Structure 1
Amino acid sequence: MDQLQPEKVIITGISKMQDNFDYSMQELAELAKANHYDVVGETRQNLDRASGATYFGIGKVDEIAELARANDATTVLVNDELSPSQLRNLEKQMKLHVVDRTQLILEIFANRAASKSAKAQVEIAQLQYALPRLHPSANKLDQQGGGGAGGLANRGAGETKLEMDRRVLNKRIARLRRELKEADIGAEVRRAKRTENKLPVVALVGYTNAGKSTTMNGLLDLFADHPETKQVFEKDMLFATLDTSVRQLTLPDNRKFLLSDTVGFVSKLPHNLVDSFKATLAEAANADLLIQVVDYHDPHYPEMMKVTEDTLHSIGIENIPMIEAYNKADLRADTRFPEENGNQLIYSARDQASLQRLTEMITSRIFADSQVNTYLIPFAQGSVVDFINRETGVIDTAYEENGTRIKTTVNPIQAGKLRQYLIED
C-alpha cells in the first residue's frame, strides 16, 4: 500500500461447520496484516452453507456494512473465494470494497514476487482469477492488481468491449506461459548441470513462516563456503519469499549436497496459484529428501502439516522420503531439544546443536548408498585426483611408488567413474 496510514478492514467469514474455522479466521487476520491492512473489526456467521447471491445472509450483510462504517473501514475481507456474482452483489449492497481470501493471497504474492518467473507465475494466477469477474457494467480489474490486468478496466461497457478484454487477458496468459516454459527449460538445464555428478538434492518444504529460510541460513553458516554471500532472505512474516533458492553445502568430510528453500504454503491456497507455482516447486519434486519444517510453537501446527501434505499431493509430489522437522522448540518452555525420534526431529533453527543433529539425519538418508573405496591413481592422472578431492569425501591420502593412494567415500555414479582405479584396501 502507498498510503501513510494502512487501510482499515473488517474480516468476515461463515463457519460452514468447519473444524478449524477459528484458526482459519485467525490466519485471515495474519494475511491481512501481511498485506499492510489494519484489521479494525471481525464478524462471523454460523451457517452450514453460503448464500448463492451474497455469501452471507441478508441481515448479516447489513450488519457488516454498519460495523465497517462504525470503524471507518473501507474494505471487507471474506474468508473464502467468492463467485463473481457474490462479489458484485456484496459490493453493491454494502457500498464497500470487498476482497475475498483468494484475491488477498494473490495481492500478497504480487507484492512479494521478486524474480521474473515468480512475477509471471503470480500474474497468470491473477489473470485467471480476473477472467470470470470481468463484467460489462462493473469491471473491477483495476482493483485486482497484477501486472497486465491493470490497464483493462472496462469503462463504458458493452458486450463487444467485454469480449475484447477477455481476448486480451487470454493472450497475456498465453504469452506468460510461453515465457515460463522457456524459463523452465533453462532451470532444467541448470538442475542437470548441478546433478551431473549425482549430488543429492534436499528440499525444505512447509507452511509459510515455519522457519525454512532460517533453517537454510543456519546450515549455510555451518557448511557453505562464504556463507555471508549465500544467505537467503528471512523475516517473521507470511510469504517472506516466493522464489526457490538452491545452495551447495560441503560437509567436513567433503561430501556435498544441494539444499533448496521453497515457497511456503497456507490453507486455501488458490488453485490457480498452486498450478502456476509448479515450476517453482520443481526442486522439491526432484528432491531425494524432503524436510517438512513445522512451526512447533504454533498450537495449530497439525493443521499446517496437513495443508502442506495436501498441497504437495495436489502437485504430484509423492513417495519422496521426508524428515518432519519441528522447529521453534526454543519458544516452548516444556520442550527439550534437539530430540530425534525416527524421521522426526524437535529442534531450533537458531541452535547449532539442533542444526548438527538435522545434518546427521540428512546425511544418513541421502548418503545411505555411498561406499568407502580405496583408489590408486597414477601420477600422470592428476585430473582424476582433482576430481576425487573436489567431488568425493576423502578420508586419507598417501603417496606411493606407483601413484596417489586415496581412501574416500563415493556415491554409485562416482564409483562407476573410478572403477578402473579401484584397489583392495
Structure 2
Amino acid sequence: MSTNSGFERDKGEFTRGARALIVLPDQGGSSRDADARLDETAGLAAAIGIVVAEKVALRVRQPRPATLIGSGQVEQLAATARMEEADLVVFDASLTPVQQRNLETALEAKVIDRTGLILEIFGERAATAEGRLQVELAHLDYQAGRLVRSWTHLERQRGGFGFLGGPGETQIEADRRLIRDRMARLRRELEGVSRTRGLHRERRQRAPWPVIALVGYTNAGKSTLFNRLTGADVMAENLLFATLDPTLRQIALPGLDKAILSDTVGFVSELPTQLVAAFKATLEEVVSADLLIHVRDVAHPDTEAQRIDVEGVLADIGVSEQTPVIEAWNKLDLLDDEARAARLAEAARREVVVAISALTGEGVDNLRTAVADRLTEGHRRYTITLAAGDGAGAAWLHAHGEVLASEVQGEQASYDVRMSPADFERFEQRHG
C-alpha cells in the first residue's frame, strides 16, 4: 500500500494500543525539567491508549529545517523505533509539514507533533456537539497547510480526527475549497453557540448569581474539586484532559444563597493556538466569571512552570487582571510530611491561597469560606423597608444578600441586609 511518507507499510487504525516513542528535542531555554516534560507527553499519549515503548531526550543545538534534529539523531531514533517495534513517534515539539514528512520517511513510522497529539485527544474526548465542532475547527485550522493528510474525516460523524490513521490516510491532495467551506460553516455554528452562551450569561447576571470558574493545568484535580464542592459526578480520572466540555452546577456558600460553579478544560504548556481560538465560546465562561479558582497540583515537580502557563493562557483569552483569583493548592495527600507542612505554612502566609486535598476533602471548607469572603468583599449593610405582604421582595433579599435582622411593624417589614452595591441597585430598580 502506498503511503504519504514514501514507504510501504500498512498503517490502518492503531490509535489504541499503538507502540510509541516519545521524543523531546531539547533546544534549551526551558524552565521545565526534561524528565517531567517527557512524562507529561507520555501521559498525553496514554490518555488515548497509546503504549509508550520508550522516552528519549535529544539535545538540539541547531534545529534543522528538514528534520529538526540532526542526521545522526535521526538514525539513532530509527534504530530505536525498529528495536521497540514502534508504530508511532511523538515529538514534544512543533513540526513543520516538511519535517513531519521527512521524519516519517526516515523513521518508517507515523510521526505526530505535540499539537497533533493534543488535537487527537480532544477529538476523541469531545462528548457534546459543541465540543466536536470546536475540535474539528481546530483540527482543520491545523491541517489546512499539511498536504500529507487526507480530508475524508470531514464525512465522519464522531471519533478522532485522523492524525493516527483511518480512511484515506494515503490520499495526499486536499480539497481546499471543501476545507474552507467547512471551516466557515463551523465558525457560523460556533458563533450561534457563543450567542446562546451570552444570553445564558445575561440571564444569570440579571438573577444575579456570582459565577466561579475552576481553572488550572490539566490533571490538577479541577473535576475532583468540582465534584467535592457540588456533589456532582463529573468524570474525574487521573488522565490529562479528562474534562473538555464545560459543566455548570449550583452551589451554596457561607453568606451566599446561591452561586454557579463552572468546571472547564484544563490548560497545558504550549496549548495549540488553534484550540484556544476554537474553544473561545467555552472559555468565555472563564472570561466572564466573577471569581477564578486556580487549582494547582503542588505535588507536581513543575508546579511553578504550570502556574506560569495557566496565567499565560488566561491573559491570552482576555481575562481581566481585575478578576479576583484564589489559588487552591491541591493534592496535599500526595506530599510527604515535611513537604506538606511547608506548603501549609506558606499557604497560611498568603491571603489568596488555600491548601487543600480535593480527594480527601481536607481544607475544602476553608476554600468555601475564602471564596465567599472574596465574593462578598465590599458588600455594605442596608436597611430596607417593604410592605409586610411583599413576599417576592423578601425572597429576593434572602436570595441575593445576607439578611442580618428583620422586624415586622404593622403593615411594614424592615430588613437589615448585607449585599453588594450592584445588587442593592438592582433591588431598587425592581422594587422601587
Question: How does the TM-score come out when normalised to structure 1?
Answer: 0.87
> Is structure 2 residue 272 aligned with structure 1 residue 270?
yes
| CA distance 1:143–1:93, shift in 2 (3 Å) | farther
| CA distance 1:44–1:182, shift in 2 (3 Å) | same
| CA distance 1:48–1:147, shift in 2 (3 Å) | closer
Q: In 1, Cα distance between the equivalents of 2:280 and 2:352?
A: 26
User: Conserved in 2, the CA contact under 8 Å of 1:7 and 1:74?
Assistant: yes
| CA distance 1:212–1:139, shift in 2 (3 Å) | closer
User: Conserved in 1, the CA contact under 8 Å of 2:253 and 2:368?
Assistant: no
Identical positions, percent: 34
Q: CA deviation at 1:402?
A: 2.1
- Residue 326 of structure 2 is aligned with which of 318, 323, 328? 323
Give 1:410's aligned amino acid: M
User: Conserved in 1, the CA contact under 8 Å of 2:26 and 2:58?
Assistant: yes
Q: CA deviation at 1:151?
A: 6.5
User: Conserved in 1, the CA contact under 8 Å of 2:387 and 2:413?
Assistant: yes
Q: Any idea what SS the aligned residue of 1:416 has?
A: helix
Give 1:411's aligned amino acid: S
| CA distance 1:181–1:237, shift in 2 (3 Å) | same
1:379 match:
388
Give 1:326's aligned amino acid: W
In structure 2, runs of 5+ residues without a counterpart are 1-11, 155-159
- Residue 181 of structure 1 is aligned with which of 191, 194, 218? 191
Q: CA deviation at 1:271?
A: 1.2
| CA distance 1:44–1:308, shift in 2 (3 Å) | same
User: Conserved in 1, the CA contact under 8 Å of 2:257 and 2:398?
Assistant: no
1:298 match:
300
> Is structure 2 residue 365 aligned with structure 1 residue 367?
no
Q: In 2, Cα distance between the equivalents of 1:127 and 1:419?
A: 50
Q: In 1, Cα distance between the equivalents of 2:427 and 2:278?
A: 42
Greater displacement, 270-279 / 367-376: 367-376
1:233 match:
235
> Is structure 2 residue 271 aligned with structure 1 residue 258?
no
1:224 match:
none
> Is structure 2 residue 392 aligned with structure 1 residue 389?
no
The equivalences for 1:8-407 within 5 A come to 8-19=19-30, 20=32, 21-134=34-147, 138-141=148-151, 145-146=160-161, 155=171, 162=174, 165-220=175-230, 227=231, 230-319=232-321, 320-333=323-336, 334=338, 335-336=340-341, 337=344, 339-340=347-348, 341-352=350-361, 354-407=363-416
Greater displacement, 294-303 / 311-320: 311-320
Q: In 2, Cα distance between the equivalents of 1:359 and 1:266?
A: 26
User: Conserved in 1, the CA contact under 8 Å of 2:193 and 2:281?
Assistant: no
Query: Deviations along 1:154-210, whole A, 9 cap, x unmatched?
Result: 74x6xxx64xx1111111111000000001100000011011133222211110011
Query: Deviations along 1:238-257, whole A, 9 cap, x unmatched?
Result: 00011122222223544332
Query: Deviations along 1:249-280, whole A, 9 cap, x unmatched?
Result: 22354433222111101112111111211221
Greater displacement, 246-255 / 30-39: 246-255
Q: CA RMSD in A?
A: 2.7
Q: Any idea what SS the aligned residue of 1:234 has?
A: coil
Question: How does the TM-score come out when normalised to structure 2?
Answer: 0.86
User: Conserved in 2, the CA contact under 8 Å of 1:253 and 1:395?
Assistant: no
2:4 match:
none
In structure 1, runs of 5+ residues without a counterpart are 221-226
Q: CA deviation at 1:84?
A: 0.6
User: Conserved in 2, the CA contact under 8 Å of 1:78 and 1:101?
Assistant: yes
Q: In 1, Cα distance between the equivalents of 2:196 and 2:138?
A: 22
Q: In 1, Cα distance between the equivalents of 2:99 and 2:150?
A: 13
Q: CA deviation at 1:392?
A: 2.8
Q: Any idea what SS the aligned residue of 2:176 has?
A: helix
User: Conserved in 2, the CA contact under 8 Å of 1:197 and 1:413?
Assistant: no
| CA distance 1:69–1:255, shift in 2 (3 Å) | same
| CA distance 1:281–1:203, shift in 2 (3 Å) | same
Give 1:291's aligned amino acid: I
1:223 match:
none
Greater displacement, 306-315 / 20-29: 20-29
| CA distance 1:404–1:349, shift in 2 (3 Å) | same
Greater displacement, 392-401 / 359-368: 392-401
Give 2:19's aligned amino acid: K
Q: In 2, Cα distance between the equivalents of 1:91 and 1:352?
A: 48
Query: Deviations along 1:127-153, whole A, 9 cap, x unmatched?
Result: 11111111xxx5455699528997776
| CA distance 1:84–1:272, shift in 2 (3 Å) | same
Give 2:251's aligned amino acid: L
How many residue pairs get aligned? The number is: 405
| CA distance 1:420–1:282, shift in 2 (3 Å) | closer
User: Conserved in 1, the CA contact under 8 Å of 2:15 and 2:49?
Assistant: no
Give 1:321's aligned amino acid: P
User: Conserved in 2, the CA contact under 8 Å of 1:203 and 1:290?
Assistant: yes
Q: Any idea what SS the aligned residue of 1:76 has?
A: strand
Give 1:70's aligned amino acid: M
Q: CA deviation at 1:104?
A: 0.6
